[in-house]
Copies of this chain bind each other. A is one copy, B any other.
C-alpha cells in the first residue's frame, strides 16, 4: 500500500500552539497578570432564542416515531435550501434551490470541493491567507501561485492578466485582514476568471458583518459570476454556529455547462450523508424574522467591539485594514516591530494577546490580527491598554 506522498509537502503550523505556549509561560511567571485574549476567531455569544426553541422542537421530533427524521437528502432539506434561496432573493440574487447545498460548514466544503478538479490545475491563493486553502491543495499535489496582498494594495490584490489560473481563492471580508472588496474589485476578478476559464472559490463566511450597502456580500452580485464562481458560506459567524456546524455552498448550473453542479451532487451523495436534521431546523430558524433580529443584535455586539478597536487604532495613528464590515482588524506593527516581536511586547507590557500576521503567510510578517469576538467590557479594557502603551 502506497500512501499519498503529497502529505509530506505539508508544513506543520505551530502558530496557535506557539501562542498558547508563550501565553502560558507568561501567566506562570506573572500569576497576577490579567490577560485579555483578542486572538481567537471563535464566537463567544450564545445561540439566539429562536434557534434554541427550534433545536428543542427538533429534538422532540427525533424522540417520537411519527416525527423521527432518518436519512435526509444529502444536499439538505428543502425547508433550509428555500430559506437560503430567499436570503439571496431578498438581495435580488436569483438562485435555484438545488444550486444550494447544505453543508456542515465552509471549511469542509472548501476542502472537499477540490475532489472535482484535476490535480494539475494551477491554484491562485492570496498571501496572507487562511491556511486551509494552501494545505488542502498541497495534499492533492497542486501547484500554488501566491497573489501578493500588501499594504500598497490595501491587502486587496487585483488580478494580473499575464498569470494563468485555473482555481482562484477569494475571501471577502477577508480572514485574516478584514479587508473587503468593493464591486469594482470583484468585477475585475470575475472578468479575469471568465477570460481564463478559471473557477473562483469564494469564501463568504464573514458576509454578515458587511453593513455598508454598496459593498457586495456575495460574488453573485457581480455580473458574470455564475459562469465562474462557487460560493461558500456559513452560520458559524452569522449565528454563532462554530460548535453547532452548518453552512451552505452554491454551485451554479451555469458553471462549466452544469458539469460542476452535477459532479458536486454526485460527490456529496457518495461521500456525505447530510447535516443533522436538528441542526438544519436550527439553521432555518436563523432566517425567521425573530431569528434575523436576534442574530443582528449579536452581530451588533461584535461590531461595537470592532468599532472600539478601530477608534483606538485611529487615535494612535496605526495603519490597519478591517474593523469595519469585518470582525477582524489587521494592523501594521508599530515602531518597525515584526509580528512576533510585537506579540511579545503586547503580551508583556499590556497583557493583551493577538495573532502574529506571520502565521498567515510571508506578507503578514509585519502585521498583527485582533478580533472582535470577545466580551465587550474586556475588549474596551484591552483597547484602553493599547492606548496607554502605544500613545506616542
Contacts and interface: CB of A to CB of B under 8 A. Distances in A.
Interface of A: 1-5, 7, 10, 42-47, 49, 51-52, 55-56, 59-60, 62-65, 68-72, 104-105, 107-108, 111-112, 115-118, 120-121, 132, 135-136, 139, 166-167, 196-199, 240, 242-245, 256, 259-260, 263, 266-267, 270-279
Nearest to A168: B1
How many copies of the shown chain assemble into the complex? 2
A271 B108 contact: yes
Contact of A46 (B43, B44, B63, B275): B63
B272 A10 contact: no
A143 B353 CA distance: 51
A59 B70 contact: no
B273 A108 contact: yes
A3 B264 CA distance: 11
Given A10-B266, A108-B272, 17 more contacts: A1-B196, A1-B198, A2-B121, A42-B70, A43-B70, A45-B65, A45-B68, A46-B63, A47-B68, A62-B244, A71-B243, A72-B243, A112-B271, A243-B274, A243-B276, A245-B276, A276-B279
Given A245-B274, A266-B10, A2 B136 contact: no
A204 to B, nearest CB: 17
Contact of A117 (B4, B56, B136): B4
Contacts of A55: 59, 62, 278
29 contacts: A1-B121, A1-B166, A1-B167, A2-B120, A2-B121, A3-B256, A3-B259, A5-B118, A7-B116, A7-B266, A42-B71, A43-B70, A44-B65, A44-B68, A46-B68, A47-B63, A52-B62, A62-B243, A70-B242, A107-B271, A108-B272, A111-B270, A112-B271, A115-B139, A136-B271, A243-B277, A244-B276, A245-B274, A278-B278
Contact of A135 (B121, B270, B272, B275): B270
